Each structure stands twice: as C-alpha cells, then as structure tokens.
Amino acid sequence: MVGCGAVVGECGRLRGMRVSAKSDYALRALIEITQRWVANDPSVVSAEELSRAQGIPHGFLQGILADLRRAGVLASQRGQSGGWKLAVDPNEISVADVMRAVDGPIVSISGVRPESVAYNERAVVLQRVWIAARASLRDVLEHTTLIDLAKGKLPAGVERRSRDEDAWQARVPGS
C-alpha cells in the first residue's frame, strides 16, 4: 500500500486504513522539531536526538528526514553542529503533506489513485466510495497542521471527531 488509505486486499475484501511507520515516524520527528520552532529555539536538531526522543530507529529516520528535505519540509545543516530544521512555516504544513512526502498518495486502490481506477458497469459505484473516503480523510489530514500537533490542540472538527466514543471502537468483520 502507498500511504494511508483503503486498499483492496486478498479476495477483494477491504483491508482498512493503514498509517505506515514512515508516516508515523515522520510526524513524530516533525512534532519534536516544531516544538522548538514554537519555543523560538533556532537551533537545529540532530537525527540522533530525534531518534532518541521518539524511539525511532536511527537508520530508518535518516531516510525519512531525507524524504522530507526533498519535499521542501525540512532543511539540513551540515557540519559539527549540523542537524535538521523546518524549511517552511509549520502552520503551512499539514499531516497530509507529510504523509504524501514520505508515502505518496493518501488513498490508493491496489496502487492506483481512486480517480484512475477502472471498473465494469456493475462495480463502477465503488469508485465513488473510494473518492468519498479520500475526501473524508482529507477533511482531517489536510486541516491538521504541524503547529496543531506541536501544541497538542487539534482543529475543532478533528477534535470533535476524536471525542466521538464510536470512533475509538474497533470494528471486526461481521459486527
């Protein structure tokens, strides 16, 4: 699966939403960096420090940080006191931006974006379901910024969804 989204698994069953370790680690590292930005701390943060602070495997984190640099989210500083800092205002970086930077599209169906999926006339309605699911994910992920995460204060609509008791309940097939 690319990114975080619904994919069709074996036997055509929906496997569900999955957030990759890359996206999770990227966001955790960026929360650490953004908290420094919020505190007006201009220093760069080393990958080692981020790794220790969040319990992220160092080698894996290095690749993630490079992805974020290529996407224009982070800037790196080389040398003895080198490290990482935000390349843009964290108010302008959404969770969706980070997930796309490290994993690609938010939703894909067997590796294909929902608008590009082809079905026969009996199943074409599924495309609209995938498009609607992507819109719902975007509603949360594109409206939550790094600043929101660093301050621990989610946008009102996201906070409301997270407080819905039903949202915390796992669903199993047949229930």
CA 118 – CA 129 distance, rounded (Å): 13
**Domain parsing of the chain, residue ranges:** 10-166
Confidence of residue 175 (pLDDT cuts 50, 70, 90): low
Tell which wins on pLDDT, 130 or 7.
130
Residue 91 tokens read as 């108010």
- The CA-atom distances, in angstroms, between 23 and each of 31, 42, 43, 58, 122 are 12, 25, 24, 15, 35
Architecture of the domain whose range is 10-166: Orthogonal Bundle (1.10)
Positive/negative CA dihedral, 26, 31, 34, 36:
negative
Summarised one tens digit per residue, pLDDT across range 50-65 is 999 999 999 999 999 9
Amino acid at 58: H
Strand runs labelled E in 15-124: 74-77, 83-86
